[in-house]
Amino acid sequence: MLSKLFLAWCVLGLCVLNHAYGVARAARWLRQRRISKDRVASWTWISIGLAGFIIVLHLVEIAAWALLYGLLGAMPDLTSATYFSAVTYTTTGYGDLVLPGEWRLVGAIEALTGILMCGWSTGFFFAVVSQMVDAGESR
């Protein structure tokens, strides 16, 4: 049980590293963007790009959890592991697939990680939109 919790802690750490690196890259990318005269169109494309990039970050994190489950036999195959990981990370939790008893706390750690990473993404996205609105008001 402790070894599984340690592995969960390691994957949590990978998710935080991935997210921190990704958000830093996105912030750098945003600083380089030029807002065109048609701010609405420019902001729309920037928002679409940012949303897509954030989703990719989350998909990488879901894949990391899926690899843990799939490679260590907690799920019957990688497809099931990926599906289970996606519904757990997003806290959708359909319940049609469940982890074996000794893995269930790991699933809970994944759900908590997903909540934290989604919250981080939401906060970042909100900050970006707030800056866009503030920049629009000052012109």
2-137 topology per CATH: Helix Hairpins (1.10.287)
Give the pLDDT confidence of 2-33 residue by residue, as tens digits: 999 999 999 999 999 999 999 999 999 988 87
Any idea which residue has 């260590």 for tokens?
72
Q: How much is the average pLDDT of 111-121?
A: 98
Q: How much is the average pLDDT of 63-67?
A: 98
Cβ distance 102 to 4 under 8 Å?
A: yes
Give which of 137, 128, 139 is closest to 44, Cα–Cα: 128
> Would you list the DSSP string of 47-79?
HHHHHHHHHHHHHHHHHHHHHHHHHTTSSSSHH
Q: Would the pLDDT of 105 be above 60?
A: yes
Higher pLDDT, 134 or 6: 6
Give which of 74, 130, 65 is closest to 101, Cα–Cα: 74
Give which of 91, 82, 83, 84 is closest to 63, Cα–Cα: 82
Give the pLDDT confidence of 25-64 residue by residue, as tens digits: 999 998 887 666 667 778 888 899 999 999 999 999 999 9
Q: How much is the average pLDDT of 60-85?
A: 97
Q: Mean pLDDT for the chain?
A: 92
**Cα–Cα distances in Å, from 72 out to 18, 65, 75, 81, 106?**
22, 11, 8, 10, 12
Instruction: Quote the pLDDT of residue 43.
Output: 86
